[in-house]
């Protein structure tokens, strides 16, 4: 939830959009600019799936990052979606997911999917969504964000490749596309091993504890 007054440069745009769209409240939304309104929270599932198909294609489910999200839920308070002010269409989404390194148990966030519908691309919306999420994650005390993506694009937003061999993903992946950004200095140091969703890490830990007690 966004606390405090709306930024002065967006108050007028938000009030106009709020009246036009008839949204019931503004406690979890504000206008990014005159084109879009940002909501904190997940977008409607059917609309988000259609946007992801349009942005990435149907083969998106085969990507390595999807294995890190299977069976999980995004971290509370770290999902955002943008709505086109003129049409009410879903324009972009971003979420962050919980990860653990195995066997060390170090925590990190997985950024993604970060997606903008093709009709709204090349206007800076993706960067606005990402920076909003990163700022919110940092304010919530998270230390490290990882993603699988294009280094030239994400490098402009403070991401860098994870040193070769330091972290692994379940299944095949392109190591040059595994990127990180520290929200707290030194957060990547000492984090090594296999990246897993938190539920899978908990399963393996429970199994190890059971076997050790036999």
Q: What is residue 61's predicted lDDT score, i.e. its pLDDT?
A: 66
Asked whether the beta carbons of 144 and 187 are under 8 A apart, the reply is: yes
Is the pLDDT at 15 greater than 60, yes or no? Answer: no
Domain map (residue ranges) of the chain: 8-212
Indicate the pTM of the whole model.
0.82
Task: Provide CB contacts within 8 A for 150, sequence distance 6+.
Answer: 177
CB atoms within 10 A of CB 51: 24
Tally of residues, the chain: 214
Question: Is the model more confident about 164 or about 9?
Answer: 164
| Token couple for 175 | 């190591």
Mean pLDDT of 171-180: 92
Is the pLDDT at 54 greater than 80, yes or no? Answer: yes
Distance CA 83, CA 38 (A): 7
Where does the pLDDT of residue 2 fall: very low under 50, low under 70, confident under 90, or very high at 90 and above? very low
Q: Which residues pair with 113 in a beta bridge?
A: none
Query: Tokens 């390194």, residue?
Result: 101
Give the helix/strand (H/E) hosting 115.
strand 115-116
Residue 86: φ, ψ to 5°: -75, -40
- Measure Cα distances from 75 to 4, 99, 124, 162 in Å: 22, 10, 24, 22
Find the Cα–Cα–Cα–Cα dihedral 192, 196, 199, 205, rounded to 10°.
-40
Where does the pLDDT of residue 34 fall: very low under 50, low under 70, confident under 90, or very high at 90 and above? confident
Topology adopted by domain 8-212: Aminopeptidase (3.40.630)
């Amino acid at each position: 939830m966004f606390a405090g007054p709306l930024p002065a440069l967006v108050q007028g745009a938000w009030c106009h959009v709020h009246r036009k769209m008839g949204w019931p409240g503004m406690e979890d939304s504000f206008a990014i600019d005159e084109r879009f309104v940002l909501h904190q929270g997940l977008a409607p599932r059917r609309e988000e799936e259609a946007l992801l198909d349009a942005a990435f294609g149907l083969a998106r489910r085969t990507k390595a990052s999807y294995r890190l999200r299977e069976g999980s839920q995004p971290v509370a308070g770290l999902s955002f979606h943008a709505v086109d002010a003129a049409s009410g269409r879903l324009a972009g989404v971003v979420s962050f997911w919980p990860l653990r390194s195995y066997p060390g148990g170090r925590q990190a966030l997985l950024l993604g999917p970060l997606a903008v519908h093709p009709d709204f691309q090349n206007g800076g919306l993706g960067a606005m969504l990402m920076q909003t999420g990163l700022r919110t994650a940092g304010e919530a005390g998270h230390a490290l964000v990882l993603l699988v993506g294009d280094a030239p694009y994400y490098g402009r937003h403070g991401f860098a490749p994870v040193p070769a061999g330091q972290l692994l993903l379940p299944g095949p992946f392109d190591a040059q596309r595994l990127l990180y950004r520290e929200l707290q200095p030194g957060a990547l140091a000492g984090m090594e091993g296999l990246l897993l969703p938190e539920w899978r890490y908990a399963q393996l830990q429970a199994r190890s504890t059971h076997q050790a007690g036999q």
